[in-house]
């Protein structure tokens, strides 16, 4: 599902409300029972730690190195494959677009059933967007994905 709107239309406020991060206003937002949605904000959060910890953030499940390296390659971050155990402040070391790609790699490794994306796809160039959407389609074929953004180049996916 894709929700589109012009800049300043309140799309990010809607995302924050879905995530439970916007306490103002009234109404009810129903979420699916069971597994919580995986949220991909425009500016992702990365805890201080190893790249492996960043990709496995808050999950507690060991992910195979081969799978991590494959996903990093699929999103175009293969250069990070040799740095899985290096600790860093990744939000300072990676460019904004690389941070978003790392967030999509984390999403693919988590394999959630519900995904909510806030404008993170809108910032990607055409070739990178196609690569990320192909990866999502291949790795999350049964996931329900809600994309909130301008929807300029990803109409065929949603």
The pTM (predicted TM-score) of the whole model is: 0.85
pLDDT value of residue 83:
97
Where are any strands of DSSP class E within 1-156? 2-4, 38-40, 49-50, 87-88, 114-118, 144-149
Q: Which CATH class is domain 2-22+35-149?
A: alpha beta
pLDDT value of residue 23:
77
How, if at all, do strands 144-149 and 114-118 pair? parallel
φ and ψ of 120, to 5 deg: -65, -30
Neighbour tally for 47: CB within 10 Å: 12
pLDDT value of residue 158:
64
Question: How many angstroms separate the CA atoms of 90 and 75, rounded?
Answer: 16
Q: Which residues pair with 50 in a beta bridge?
A: 87
pLDDT value of residue 31:
75
pLDDT value of residue 5:
75
The tens-digit pLDDT sequence of the chain (158 residues) is 777 777 777 777 777 777 777 778 778 877 777 778 888 988 999 988 899 989 986 556 788 899 999 999 999 999 999 999 999 999 999 999 999 999 999 999 999 999 988 888 988 998 999 999 999 999 999 999 988 887 666 566 66
Asked if 110 and 59 count as a contact pair (C-beta separation under 8 A), the reply is yes
Q: Which residues pair with 99 in a beta bridge?
A: none
């Amino acid at each position: 599902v894709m929700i589109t709107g012009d800049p300043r239309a309140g799309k990010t406020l809607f995302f924050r409300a879905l995530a439970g991060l916007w306490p103002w206003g009234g109404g009810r937002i129903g979420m699916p029972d069971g597994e919580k949605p995986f949220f991909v904000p425009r500016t992702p959060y990365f805890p201080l730690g190893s790249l492996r910890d960043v990709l496995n953030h808050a999950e507690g499940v060991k992910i195979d190195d081969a799978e991590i390296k494959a996903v990093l390659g699929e999103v175009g971050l293969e250069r990070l494959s040799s740095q899985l155990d290096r600790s860093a402040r990744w939000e300072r070391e990676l460019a904004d677009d690389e941070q978003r790609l790392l967030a999509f790699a984390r999403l693919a490794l988590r394999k959630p059933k519900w995904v909510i994306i806030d404008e993170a796809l809108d910032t990607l160039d055409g070739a990178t967007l196609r690569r990320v959407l192909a990866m999502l389609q291949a790795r999350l074929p049964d996931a329900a994905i809600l994309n909130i953004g301008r929807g300029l180049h990803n109409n065929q996916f949603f």
